[in-house]
Structure formats: C-alpha cells, structure tokens
Amino acid sequence: MKVLVTGGAGFIGSHLVDALMERGYRVRVLDDLSAGSLKNIEQWLDNSRFEFIKGDMRDPNIVKEAVEDVDIVYHLAANPEVRISAQSPELLYETNVLITYNLLQAIKDSNVKYLIFTSSSTVYGDAKVIPTPEDYGPLEPISVYGGAKLAAEALISGYAHIFEFHAVVFRLANIIGARANHGVIYDFINKLKKNPEVLEILGDGTQRKSYLHVSDTVEGMLHIFEYFKKEGKIYDVYNLGNEDWITVKEIAEIVSEEMGLNPEFRFTGGVDGGRGWKGDVKFMLLDITKAKSTGWKPKMNSYEAVRRTVRELLKA
C-alpha cells in the first residue's frame, strides 16, 4: 500500500511517518517545510520505500503529482497556529481550506481509496456540553482557524459522498510531544531560557484543556483507521484527546519544576474573561467514548503527557 502524508515533515506528521515506515508502508511526503523540517524525517530520506516532495499545496499541479499511484492519504498539512486568526484570515483560508479543496480535486480523479484528515477541537467553539461528543451542535467556531478546519471537514464529507472514496476525520485535542515547535509548553520553555526569574502567562491561568501525547495520537489514528476500514462507512468523525484536563498555571508549574526553576508567574489577564488571546477556547475537554469503543485508549493522561513533553523538548 502506498501512503501520502501531507505535512509529513511537521510535528505530528513526522511521527506518523515514523509509524507508517516501521509498519512497512511505502510512504510519500508532501511538505513545503514552512512549519516542518527535513530533520524530522532525515532517518528515512535514503530508504527505498520513502519519497519526499517539497511543494506548496496551493499549487494544484503539485498536489495532482503527489496523489499519483497512492491508495491512502493522511492530510495533516495546515497552518497549525490558532493565534494568527485575528492577523491573517486569508493565510488560514489558503493553508487550511484551499489546500484541502486542491487535494480533494486531485483525489476525485485518482485511485485514492481513503482520506484521513486531522481536524481540531476548535470546531466546537465554546461548547456548552463538556466533555464534548462528536455529535454536539450547533458547531460555532470562535476563531478563523476553527472555522477553516470546519470548512475543510464539510468539503471532505461532500466529496467523499459524491466521488465515492472513504474519509475519516480526527478532531484533535492539544497534541504535544517531541518535535513540537509551537504551543504553550514550547513557549514556556523558551521564555524561561531567556528569563529564568519571570514567566509571562497569557490569560488568567485558569484556562483548562485536554492534552494528548503525539505517540498516543498516532497510535489512535492508525488503530481507528483500521476499525473504520472494517466498518465500511463513507465518512466518520472521531474525537482524539484525553479523559482529563489541566490548567495553564499547572503546566507552568510542571515546566518550572522540570527546569529546576522557581519563577514569578505574571499573568497578562488575557481577553474576553481570561482567554490567552481572542479566539482562544478557554475550556476544552473532548468526549472520547467513541474512540475508546474501537479498543484504543491513551497510555498517558494530560499531566503525564505534559511532563514527558517538557523532558523531550528540554533534551532536544
């Protein structure tokens, strides 16, 4: 089986590539290296089962070339930064919605049988039901990033039903681990390296969210995809997250402890009732009952995942 991983040199993508290569797949990666790095996949570059294409998915011709002779597409390419919602909606549209449209146009004229898409918990917005199940509605994203992810989901569903391929969507909690190059843990470590005395924390520190280690994420995606194939559905959606959640202040305490520091915490106070930035979902906990019903469950809880990630990033 030949697999295409878009965004395969990025944080989650490269861990997925490792797992697919270790399982014996032929893997092609398409990545423009804007957020990813060849260093993340360097161990595979000389392998005969591996192929790398450097290209921008905003170019439909590059995408068409990438899906040739491919059976399965894992679509992870996207701009991963939620916080640019206010500054650059057009970039979020191009690097989430437009590239997904280009991919779907290429898939409909190809032999691709399965598409796996990494969406986001941000599609739920400020959910009134917590933990939030997949069938929660109405979906009201509060950031352009969340809106772009939801638009991509809708396009995928439409194309899968009309052009008869199978698609599964994973709505991810906050994914953390080695190779992460953005997010709260990465930010805290860099801030404390610059100034070990004071740690600025965006918001009021009470933001509480679910965190899933990238190893559990990849294991979940691969396991649930096999289950999805056996079920034979055209389209399905799964939440992937943890059963517990952790506050930003608790994350700051773990990072400080692991770095052997005791900084003063300075909270910015945030916006809109203590959010880190406009469009930041303050409380997020996904209901993972459906994912667990397939036989998958996370090996680490949020606290364990955070601590392990701090150690991995400090070692890098």
Catalytic residues: 145
Listing DSSP states for 208-258 in one string gives EE-EEEHHHHHHHHHHHHHHHHHHT-SEEEEEE--SS-EEHHHHHHHHHHH
What is the distance between the alpha carbons of residues 257 and 101, in angstroms, rounded to a whole number? 45
Question: Quick count: other Cβ atoms within 10 Å of Cβ 257?
Answer: 12
Residue 22 C-alpha from the chain's centroid: 21
- Do you know the residue count of the chain? 316
Cβ(82)–Cβ(145) under 8 Å? yes
CA angle, 48 then 50 then 56, to 5°: 140
Tally of CB atoms within 10 A around 230: 8
CA distances from 56 to 6, 35, 116, 249 (A): 10, 12, 19, 38
Of the chain, the end-to-end C-alpha distance in Å amounts to 33
B/e letters for 176-187, b = 16+ CB within 10 Å, e = fewer, are: bbbbbeebbbbe
